[in-house]
């Protein structure tokens, strides 16, 4: 039995037909974790859909009304890049409920997964890039509303910038100077990347992403690392190490929300970075090791993953669970 919970429902399946987003990946991850003995049936917990009040903590009443009544404009639906249906709305409300439950479990057990979620391109008033509702933001705002935390950090390692996250938590940010100098122990990446830093509100947002990729307009996160095309494992890990060290020098979160996208993978159809499956697992280990060393609970969501072979995407996501099992062998 795992020392942490995996939040999952068969109803995470997104009814979007033939689509580059592999909607069946959640079930495949669930099945693989059981088949390989990484998890047992009792490790899984079933979420309830988020309430409308929960979703309102992040999204505007007008947008929620449009979703509930099927009155998005053609342009709004196009921007979301997934076909609207009432069933799809239900799936997103469930994913948000899953992230709320995962955040709750993480605060109890040190780490927890939503075997879904990570819809980081959703904005308060509209959806984008396969994302309708920002489940991670809903979970953070719910934990804050329940007085379980005051400060959270998002660590977004999806290949695409977390534009919705940045916009939602922009708060009172003002641009600041360059990053403080990094300690000597920190690795120095060989490949150049642009690092942008802004002051955080109650949620500190870190995004490592490919610069030349969607979204074109990247609203400022607390730390953005704009990576060049084709970056490999070692440089990526060095930049991640730098960003985590810098972020945790500036901010003291009570919960880390790790958005563990599988799309920095070198065979991803929508990504232009060159990480290997092993490198992606080292990425997960780094995030978990840093959080564990500081006793910061971690809630994990899976976000994107568009490998040419679906099995690779499933492997990358399952490896994130295995990495947590290695780093948190007995919980925190």
Cβ closest to Zn ion, residue 13 vs residue 214: 214
Tokens at 295, concatenated: 């006793």
Task: Determine, following the binding rule CB under 5 A, whether residue 292 of this chain makes contact with Zn ion.
Answer: no
* Least spacing, CB of residue 2 vs Zn ion, in Å: 26
Q: Who's near 271: CB < 8 A, 6+ residues apart? A: 159, 160, 210, 213, 263, 264, 265, 306
Q: Are 64 and 55 in contact (CB under 8 A)?
A: yes
Cβ closest to Zn ion, residue 149 vs residue 260: 260
Task: Determine, following the binding rule CB under 5 A, whether residue 268 of this chain makes contact with Zn ion.
Answer: no
Span from 200-208, 228-236, 298-306, 313-321 in contact with Zn ion (CB under 5 A): 298-306
Task: Determine, following the binding rule CB under 5 A, whether residue 156 of this chain makes contact with Zn ion.
Answer: no
* Least spacing, CB of residue 308 vs Zn ion, in Å: 15
Gyration radius from the chain CA atoms: 18
* Least spacing, CB of residue 181 vs Zn ion, in Å: 31
Task: Determine, following the binding rule CB under 5 A, whether residue 158 of this chain makes contact with Zn ion.
Answer: yes
Tokens at 228, concatenated: 């060049």
Q: How many residues bind Zn ion (CB under 5 A)?
A: 5
Task: Determine, following the binding rule CB under 5 A, whether residue 263 of this chain makes contact with Zn ion.
Answer: yes
* Least spacing, CB of residue 118 vs Zn ion, in Å: 9
* Least spacing, CB of residue 262 vs Zn ion, in Å: 8
SS3 of residue 221 by DSSP: coil
What is the sign, positive or negative, of the torsion defined by CA atoms of 124, 56, 254, 102? negative
199 φ, ψ (degrees, to nearest 5): -70, 140
Helix pair angle (86-109, 135-145), 10° resolution: 50
Task: Determine, following the binding rule CB under 5 A, whether residue 304 of this chain makes contact with Zn ion.
Answer: yes
CA 118 – CA 105 distance, rounded (Å): 17
Span from 56-64, 140-148, 253-261, 289-297 in contact with Zn ion (CB under 5 A): 253-261
Strand 203-210 relative to strand 255-259: parallel, antiparallel, unpaired?
unpaired
Task: Determine, following the binding rule CB under 5 A, whether residue 272 of this chain makes contact with Zn ion.
Answer: no
Cβ closest to Zn ion, residue 136 vs residue 248: 136
**How many Cβ atoms sit within 10 Å of the Cβ of residue 291?**
27
Task: Determine, following the binding rule CB under 5 A, whether residue 226 of this chain makes contact with Zn ion.
Answer: no
List C-alpha distances in Å: 95 to 49, 77, 139, 165. Answer: 7, 19, 10, 16
CA 100 – CA 88 distance, rounded (Å): 19
Task: Determine, following the binding rule CB under 5 A, whether residue 160 of this chain makes contact with Zn ion.
Answer: yes
| DSSP structure class, residue 254 | S
Cβ closest to Zn ion, residue 161 vs residue 246: 161
Cβ closest to Zn ion, residue 66 vs residue 160: 160
Span from 14-22, 166-174, 249-257, 304-312 in contact with Zn ion (CB under 5 A): 304-312
Cβ closest to Zn ion, residue 189 vs residue 272: 272
| DSSP structure class, residue 46 | P
Q: Which residues bind Zn ion (CB under 5 A)?
A: 158, 160, 261, 263, 304
């Amino acid at each position: 039995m795992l020392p942490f919970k995996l939040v999952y429902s068969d109803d995470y399946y997104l009814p979007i037909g033939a689509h580059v987003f592999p909607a069946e990946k959640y079930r495949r991850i669930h099945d693989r974790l059981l088949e390989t003995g990484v998890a047992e049936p009792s490790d899984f917990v079933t979420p309830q859909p988020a309430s409308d009040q929960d979703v309102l903590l992040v999204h505007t009443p007008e947008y929620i009304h449009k979703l509930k009544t099927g009155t998005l404009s053609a342009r709004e639906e196009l921007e979301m890049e997934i076909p609207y249906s009432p069933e799809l709305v239900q799936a997103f409300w469930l994913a948000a409920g899953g992230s709320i439950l995962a955040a709750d479990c993480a605060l109890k057990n040190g780490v927890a997964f939503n075997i879904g979620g990570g819809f980081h391109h959703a904005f308060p008033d509209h959806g984008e890039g396969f994302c309708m509702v920002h489940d991670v933001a809903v979970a953070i705002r719910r934990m804050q509303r329940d007085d379980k935390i005051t400060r959270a950090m998002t660590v977004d390692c999806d290949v695409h910038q977390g534009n919705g996250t940045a916009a939602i938590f922009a708060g009172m940010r003002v641009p600041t100077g360059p990053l403080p100098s990094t300690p000597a122990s920190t690795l120095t990446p060989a490949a150049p990347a642009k690092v942008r830093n802004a002051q955080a509100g109650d949620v500190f947002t870190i995004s490592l992403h490919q610069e030349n990729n969607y979204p074109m307009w990247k609203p400022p996160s607390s730390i953005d690392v704009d990576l060049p095309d084709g970056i490999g494992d070692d440089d990526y890990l060095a930049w991640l190490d730098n960003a985590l060290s810098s972020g945790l020098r500036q901010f003291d979160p009570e919960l880390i929300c790790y958005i563990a996208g599988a799309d920095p993978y070198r065979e991803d159809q929508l990504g232009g970075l060159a990480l290997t499956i092993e490198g992606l697992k080292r990425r997960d280990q780094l995030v978990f090791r840093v959080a564990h060393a500081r006793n910061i609970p971690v809630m994990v969501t899976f976000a994107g993953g568009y490998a040419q072979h679906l099995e690779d995407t499933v492997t990358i996501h399952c490896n994130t669970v295995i990495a947590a099992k290695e780093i948190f062998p007995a919980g925190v």
